[in-house]
Chains A and B, each alone.
Chain A
Amino acid sequence: MSSLQDKYTEPTAIKIANKTLGLLLPESLKDAIVGDLREEHFIRASKDFSSANKWVWRQLFITSFYAINSALRSDRFLQYVVLILCLLGLPIIISMVAWLSNMDETSPYIWNQLLEANMHIILFDGYFWSQIPESIIRIEHITMYIHYGSVVWSVIALLIMCVIKRMNPVSAHQIALMGAAAMLLPYLMGWMYINTMLLAPTDIGPILAFMLFNILYMLIPVTYWVLKTANRNIILVSID
């Protein structure tokens, strides 16, 4: 066996597995899987080197799907996603509120989108972004960012999430899902209401505000909560 060991050279597939799985999986798990691949390849290669190589390439291909799936479901990945969404979402919503509050006139296309509550589509329009700098400058009072209906909704939603957390242990992913649902539900409800009722433009404004401010108020607490829970889980796993 030792002479076979001396002659054995690690195939390219194993070296690739070591690098790629190392990016996607924790070190200990990566070592276990790559070690298993190498161990079995060594045994197979002693009988038929060519088919052993084919076997390890096939295993690498399938295991990569598992590794990608595992990485995407990890708490670390969730932390990155939630943080990026918060860092992008906050300035976008702050800008949109400033623009809506200070809008004098706009393009017919954007006006129609607003009347249909399609604020998510307006984000892809260059004209909207060209108006943002001026809108930000024209912010006079911070009170324009206070919306009592959204405060009530956000407080109730966060309280419900707290109660659920106390009754059952919840994962970071579950908190993220609950938070996303609590933030997006008013947006969806507002969108459906505006698109099913024939409302005057002056009636649409307060609904748009409700749709936006819930996200603004809940984004930071939910992000903090998810990061804290995910961090605690990551530390526990490291100790194990």
Chain B
Amino acid sequence: MSKKEKYLGEFEQVVLLALLRLGEQAYGASIRQLLHEQIKRDVALGALYSTLERMEKKGLVTSELGESTAQRGGRAKRFFEITSKGNEALIKTREAMDSMWQGISLKIQF
């Protein structure tokens, strides 16, 4: 990743974290469901695959076809896995955010 692309966008971060949480079971529908359960975010499949495709081109994730099921009408799942480059990008982004948050305290106003 070039210096310009050192930090991930917000949605890219969220998707990569979802891949880490799901491990070997990270595919489109499960990632979407996890995002909905964890952060109440209803992500369109098209937007999700667009981000995953972009990250695959950048070398942050890899994908491979998995098993098909009757529930999917006999269609195979495409499983995604974070790469070491993706891990590194997540760590760098987290460090940058932690650095910016240092010394800041916000109160939630109701």
A residues with CB within 8 A of B: 5, 10, 14, 28-29, 31-40, 42, 58-59, 62-67, 69-70
* B68 contacts across to A, CB distance below 8 A: 31, 35
C-alpha gap A66/B48 in the complex (Å): 10
* A29-B78, A33-B28, A70-B53 given; A38·B73 CB < 8 A: yes
Q: Does B84 contact A (CB under 8 A)?
A: no
C-alpha gap A34/B65 in the complex (Å): 14
B residues with CB within 8 A of A: 27-29, 32-33, 44-47, 49-50, 53, 65, 68-73, 75-78
* Contact of A39 with B69 in the complex, beta carbons under 8 Å: yes
* A36 contacts across to B, CB distance below 8 A: 27-29, 32, 45, 72, 77
* Contact of A65 with B78 in the complex, beta carbons under 8 Å: no
* Contact of A39 with B50 in the complex, beta carbons under 8 Å: no
* Contact of B50 with A32 in the complex, beta carbons under 8 Å: no
How far apart are B58's CB and chain A's nearest CB, in angstroms? 13
- A40: contacting residue among B32, B49, B73, CB under 8 A: B32
How far apart are A190's CB and chain B's nearest CB, in angstroms? 35
C-alpha gap A107/B69 in the complex (Å): 70
Interface centre among B27, B32, B44 (most CB of A within 10 A): B44
* B27 contacts across to A, CB distance below 8 A: 32, 36
* A33-B45, A36-B45, A38-B75 given; A69·B29 CB < 8 A: no
* Contact of B65 with A28 in the complex, beta carbons under 8 Å: yes
C-alpha gap A62/B53 in the complex (Å): 16
C-alpha gap A38/B28 in the complex (Å): 12
- A59: contacting residue among B44, B53, B69, B76, CB under 8 A: B44
* A58 contacts across to B, CB distance below 8 A: 44
* Contact of B46 with A67 in the complex, beta carbons under 8 Å: yes
* A31-B76, A32-B77 given; A39·B71 CB < 8 A: yes
- B73: contacting residue among A34, A64, A67, CB under 8 A: A34
* B72 contacts across to A, CB distance below 8 A: 35-36, 38-39
C-alpha gap A63/B45 in the complex (Å): 6
How far apart are B50's CB and chain A's nearest CB, in angstroms? 5
C-alpha gap A69/B49 in the complex (Å): 12
* B46 contacts across to A, CB distance below 8 A: 33, 59, 62-67
* Contact of A35 with B45 in the complex, beta carbons under 8 Å: no
Instruction: Tell me the nearest residue of chain A to B29, going by C-beta.
Output: A36
How far apart are B92's CB and chain A's nearest CB, in angstroms? 23
* B78 contacts across to A, CB distance below 8 A: 28-29, 32
How far apart are A15's CB and chain B's nearest CB, in angstroms? 10
- A42: contacting residue among B32, B47, B49, B71, CB under 8 A: B71
* A35 contacts across to B, CB distance below 8 A: 29, 68, 72-73, 75-77
* A32-B28, A33-B45, A39-B69 given; A66·B75 CB < 8 A: no
* B69 contacts across to A, CB distance below 8 A: 39
* Contact of B76 with A28 in the complex, beta carbons under 8 Å: yes
* A10-B73, A31-B76 given; A39·B49 CB < 8 A: no
How far apart are B29's CB and chain A's nearest CB, in angstroms? 4
- B49: contacting residue among A5, A14, A33, A64, CB under 8 A: A33
How far apart are A66's CB and chain B's nearest CB, in angstroms? 3
